[in-house]
Amino acid sequence: MTPGTDLSATTLKRLAVYAEPFVDTVDSVVNRILDHYEAAQNATAAQPDAMPGVPLVSAASPPNLSYTTPKSIEIDGEIMPPAQAYWNLAFLKVVEIAAKKGKTAKELKNMISANSYVGEKVDNGYKFLPEVGLSIQGLDANSAWKATYNLARTMRIKVDVVFAWQNTEKAARPNEVARMTVG
């Protein structure tokens, strides 16, 4: 690679997704991505002791999560009980942690990619989070993970998920297990 090589418009557009407006430069975004990549490499290197045979997949652009079941979800060091290990519940937990970090219901509504309502709304698939003051509509697995990933990355909340694709030809990887980490 040649130092100072120009980046294409497509590459700059891809980098902009990871940039914080008025704060980041191309250099700071590239460094953040390299940090993330190196952390993932280190996690993969350490993985045989912790989780033999469970491949780490990209949390930013995972394979299709339709027909998957989370096997374990750890958020900010707390392991969710197996009965609560669902994509939507993980997202709601990240929203609650973001609220505890000082974000208001209105700020969170503007930060998340899910349909939401400031105040209580429980029809049409909405779940009210009383400690947040926000109601959020349920999402499919892919959308729930995308919303979880984006909010966790922005708020620097650590999320680690081990999941399995179900035994159906409709699944992207039938019967396979994988892991994603953000934060």
- Pairing mode of beta strands 126-129, 134-137: antiparallel
Domain boundaries, the chain: 7-50, 54-182
User: Helix or strand or coil: residue 92?
Assistant: helix
For CA atoms 106, 107, 110, 116, the dihedral sign is negative
Q: Residue 48: what pLDDT?
A: 39
Rounded Cα gap, residues 31 and 8, in angstroms: 18
Is the pTM above the cut of 0.85?
no
For residue 182, what are the β-bridge partners?
Answer: 159
Q: Render each residue's pLDDT in the chain as its tens digit; 183 residues.
A: 566 668 888 877 777 777 777 777 887 777 777 766 666 555 444 443 456 679 999 999 999 999 999 999 999 999 999 999 999 999 999 999 999 999 999 999 999 999 999 999 999 999 999 999 999 999 999 999 999 999 999 999 999 999 999 999 999 999 999 999 998
Q: 148-151: which pairs have CB atoms within 8 A and are 24 or more residues apart? A: 148/87, 148/90, 148/91, 148/94, 148/182, 149/59, 149/60, 149/180, 149/182, 150/111, 150/112, 150/113, 151/91, 151/94, 151/95, 151/98, 151/111, 151/112
User: What is the per-residue DSSP string for 20-48?
Assistant: PTTT--HHHHHHHHHHHHHHHHHHHHHHH
Farthest CA pair distance, the chain: 56
